[in-house]
């Protein structure tokens, strides 16, 4: 029975994602994928151009999935009336933490994947999706009228908050602290959001250009 092209590409994508998630970018090998998918190595190149093209396709799917998870969190908060900025930021941070825990190596490989390796046509689209993720945090800050931040400031603060949470989650610092590493990571994320928001409330609109 011949498989149709869509079925083969999606199977190749699933296998590639599993490989990335098991061992990062060095684990993404055309021969392994071909064997697991029961197809010729050449078919992979026909579908995705090269391994970078395949990795990029996995990354697009990872970004879309994280974006969907973030939007779902926003919808849930809307229905459960979580409207305060701290509660919303913490719920988004929790979504990110759970996402990284579920995709540890493939997410690290995505972050290590330089946009410079992407052809110009798709680079815009790729960077656009990353910006879309920061856009969720930006919106939370924009919605808080008490903070009185303009859009540029919300974008800047959203990027800083994202990088800081990311740094706490991935630096492994908390795993060296005593006690349960997950509890310690969350304690640090909570404290970061609390202190940072207190700072933003104190200096509304003040940009350190």
Q: Please, which residue, 45 or 196, has the CB nearer to a second copy?
A: 196
Range list of H helices, the chain = 5-23, 30-37, 41-48, 51-79, 85-102, 104-112, 120-143, 151-170, 173-176, 181-202
Rounded Cα–Cα distance for residues 125 and 115 (Å): 11
In this chain, which stretch among 36-44, 95-103, 136-144, 162-170 interacts with a second copy, using CB under 8 A?
162-170
Residue selected from 5, 68, 139, 191 as contacting a second copy according to rule CB under 8 A: 191
Residue selected from 2, 26, 120, 121 as contacting a second copy according to rule CB under 8 A: 26
Question: Quick check: 208 binds a second copy (CB under 8 A)?
Answer: yes
Instruction: Mark residues 46-85: x for contact with a second copy by CB under 8 A, - for none.
Output: ----------------------------------------
Helix (H, G, I), strand (E, B) or coil at 199: helix
Rounded Cα–Cα distance for residues 68 and 187 (Å): 26
Which residues make Cβ contacts (< 8 Å) with residue 158, sequence separation at least 6?
A: 134, 135, 137, 138, 140, 141
Question: Quick check: 117 binds a second copy (CB under 8 A)?
Answer: no
Rounded Cα–Cα distance for residues 201 and 203 (Å): 6
Residue selected from 80, 172, 180, 205 as contacting a second copy according to rule CB under 8 A: 172
Question: Quick check: 197 binds a second copy (CB under 8 A)?
Answer: yes
Question: Quick check: 177 binds a second copy (CB under 8 A)?
Answer: yes
In this chain, which stretch among 3-11, 73-81, 95-103, 199-207 interacts with a second copy, using CB under 8 A?
199-207
Minimum distance of a second copy from residue 172's CB (angstroms)? 7
Question: Quick check: 159 binds a second copy (CB under 8 A)?
Answer: yes
- Secondary structure of 96-134 as H, E, C letters: HHHHHHHCHHHHHHHHHCCHHHCCHHHHHHHHHHHHHHH
Question: Quick check: 99 binds a second copy (CB under 8 A)?
Answer: no
In this structure, are residues 77 and 83 in contact, taking their beta carbons and an 8 Å threshold?
yes
Residues that bind a second copy (CB under 8 A): 26, 111, 114-115, 127, 130-131, 134, 156-157, 159-160, 162-168, 170-174, 176-177, 187-188, 190-192, 194-203, 207-209
């Amino acid at each position: 029975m011949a498989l149709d092209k869509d079925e083969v590409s999606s199977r190749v994508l699933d296998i590639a994602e599993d490989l990335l998630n098991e061992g990062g970018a060095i684990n993404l090998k055309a021969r392994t994928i071909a064997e697991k998918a029961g197809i010729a190595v050449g078919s992979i190149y026909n579908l995705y151009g090269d391994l970078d093209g395949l990795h990029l396709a996995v990354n697009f799917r990872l970004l879309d999935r994280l974006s969907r998870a973030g939007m779902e969190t926003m919808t849930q908060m809307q229905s459960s009336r979580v409207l305060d900025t701290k509660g919303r930021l913490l719920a988004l941070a929790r979504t990110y933490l759970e996402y990284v825990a579920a995709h540890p190596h493939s997410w690290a490989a995505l972050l290590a994947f330089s946009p410079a390796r992407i052809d110009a046509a798709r680079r815009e689209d790729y960077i656009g999706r990353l910006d879309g993720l920061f856009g969720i945090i930006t919106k939370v800050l924009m919605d808080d009228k008490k903070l009185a931040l303009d859009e540029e400031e919300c974008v800047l603060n959203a990027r800083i908050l994202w990088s800081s949470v990311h740094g706490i989650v991935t630096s492994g610092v908390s795993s060296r602290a005593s006690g349960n590493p997950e509890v310690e990571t969350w304690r640090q994320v909570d404290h970061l959001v609390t202190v940072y928001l207190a700072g933003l409330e104190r200096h509304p609109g003040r940009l350190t250009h």
